[in-house]
Amino acid sequence: MSPTLLFSFVIGYFAILLGVAWYTSRGSDNASFFIGNKKSNWMLVAFGMIGTSLSGVTFVSVPGGVGAGNFFYFQIVLGYLLGYLVIAFVLLPLYYRMNLTSIYTYLETRFGVNAHKAGATFFIISRAFGATARLYLVINILQLFILDKLGIPFIATTFVILLMILLYTFEGGVKTIIYTDTLQTSGMLLGLVVCTIVIIKALGTDFSGALSLLQQKGYTQIINTDIKAPSFFGKHLLGGMFIAITMTGLDQEMMQKNISVKNLKDSQKNMMSFTAVLMMVNYLFLFLGGLLYLYATKMNVTAAPDDLFPTIALSDAFSGSIGVLFIIALISALFPSVDGAITSLTSCFCIDILALNKSTESENVKKKTRLKVHVGFAVIFFILVLIFKAINDKLIIDFILKFAGITYGPLLGLFAFGIITKRKLNDKLIWLICILAPLLALLSDMLSNPDWYDKKLHASLGLGPVSHQIFNGYHIGNELIIINGIFTFAGLYLISKKEAEK
């Protein structure tokens, strides 16, 4: 299909987003930007969160991963279910009871200023790197299949996309994102469903026939019983559970939308509805991944896992409509994770670092500060995407996912310690623990996964014998975030004391 025509659909899609942003941001203020004036419709929030949770990485990487990992990823999704139950019935009641705008305010109330700043800082670092990695992956696909053919350079693509995201989130913030996420999730799911149907027809079968073919190939295997494998069922289940708790329940971006709902009951309905739909959508992504590999084998198509979906969807074998739907769906999967990230980072920095909510400045001055911070994060995103492009290694996506396990660990430890215990912390030593714990977790991961890290570095440090003695072939997977949280929790216990009885 003509790259020019595909590009025109991208521009049209942007125009619709800007129209929605203009309509929803009228009369917006700081409260609208940060928490949508606590008037968000829970059904819209639940539906829109699907797009935020999946992102462009899920859109291309989950289907692409079926070839080597079957449906093992669904073990993580089952873990999500357990994590979302904890969020709905443990964390959300806490956030609503304290009437929080930023969830990290809880840490200051419980432990002091340093805990508050540490929690916010780790969120900012993790979300900034994670969101820009997802942005880089999708821009790379757009560049490869459309924009390079039009002579548009990567740097211009990145600049324009971030400018458009900035424009439609600039005024309305969360109030606008609730609606744009709903639109974008609709586009993503439409593309997913239509692409699945088209590939099934191209295979000359129906849904049940396709499922039978996938079963014959062994792709539909969900449970991995190899305890030493990173994808072992227990690791994926627990890892998925704590990934959900930390990357949703302890994440300002995701919780900012939840606490924008007017009351706790509606917010809990939002969370459980979102969970049910997310599980079905993830299974459909895995099902599509299996179909793509069947089709690739039949048509002798070769592509890297992350390139398989776009290579087939944009090939000459299909009509232009599937290419358009793929591009719209891909953009729809990208934007909710990036626009929400910039907005939540702005909120977190303004409230948790600058304490804008405690400032005695006028509303006008506060708004100007907030807008400057918003632009500042867009600039940071631009720089980070260009750095990822310079590195030009798709393994960077795997690194960012591991990076999230390192940076969210202190958040897990801090919140768990605050909720489970009644002990007081030495506020001056909190930063020390929150830095040492991730470093210990990183070292543990290096020892158990020597092939993932630089082999020469591993050998030069003499880690081989140590690795064998400690782990004996065991490889840390998604449970890294749990290990990190345990290290943090243990460290916090060492610098704590019993609360004086009243």
Q: Write out the DSSP string of 298-337.
A: HHT----HHHHHHHHHTSTTS-HHHHHHHHHHHHHHHHHH
Could you tell me which residue, 469 or 130, shows the higher pLDDT? Answer: 130
Portion of the chain with pLDDT greater than 90, in percent? 29
- Cα 183 from Cα 470, distance rounded (Å): 50
C-alpha distance across the termini of the chain, in Å: 73
Same-domain pairing of 232 and 373: yes
Each residue's pLDDT tens digit, 388-407: 888 765 555 566 667 888 89
Residue 256: the pLDDT is 76
Instruction: Give the end of a domain, one of 355, 372, 394.
Output: 394
425 by DSSP, 3-state: which? strand
424 by DSSP, 3-state: which? strand
Give φ, ψ of 313 to 5 degrees: -65, -35
Same-domain pairing of 93 and 205: yes
- Cα 418 from Cα 488, distance rounded (Å): 12
402 within some domain: no
Residues 6+ apart with CB under 8 A from 502: none
- Cα 120 from Cα 355, distance rounded (Å): 12
Specify the number of domains making up the chain: 2
Residues 70 and 210: beta-carbon distance below 8 Å? no
Instruction: Give the end of a domain, one of 363, 394, 425.
Output: 394
**Which segment of 124-138, 172-186, 202-216, 476-490 scores lowest on mean pLDDT?**
172-186
Closest CA to 9 of 304, 320, 315, 270: 320
Residue 502: the pLDDT is 46
Residues 127 and 341: beta-carbon distance below 8 Å? yes
223 by DSSP, 3-state: which? coil
399 within some domain: no
Question: Taking the model in full, what pTM does it have?
Answer: 0.79
- Domain extent, residue 86, equals 3-394
Q: Tell me how far apart the 2 most distant CA atoms of the chain are, in Å.
A: 75
Residue 397 CB neighbours (<10 A): 19
Each residue's pLDDT tens digit, 169-220: 665 555 666 777 777 777 778 888 888 998 999 899 998 999 999 999 999 9
| Tokens standing for residue 216 | 């014959």
Same-domain pairing of 384 and 412: no
CA distances from 459 to 6, 443, 453, 472 (A): 48, 14, 11, 17
What's the CATH code of the domain at 11? 1.20.1730.10
497 by DSSP, 3-state: which? strand
| pLDDT band at residue 124 using 50, 70 and 90 as cut-offs | very high
Residue 435: the pLDDT is 95
Same-domain pairing of 382 and 424: no
Matching residue, tokens 């989950």: 62
- Cα 178 from Cα 181, distance rounded (Å): 5
292 within some domain: yes
Portion of the chain with pLDDT greater than 70, in percent? 82
289 within some domain: yes
- Cα 30 from Cα 354, distance rounded (Å): 14
- Cα 248 from Cα 258, distance rounded (Å): 10
401 within some domain: no
Instruction: Give the end of a domain, one of 366, 394, 422.
Output: 394
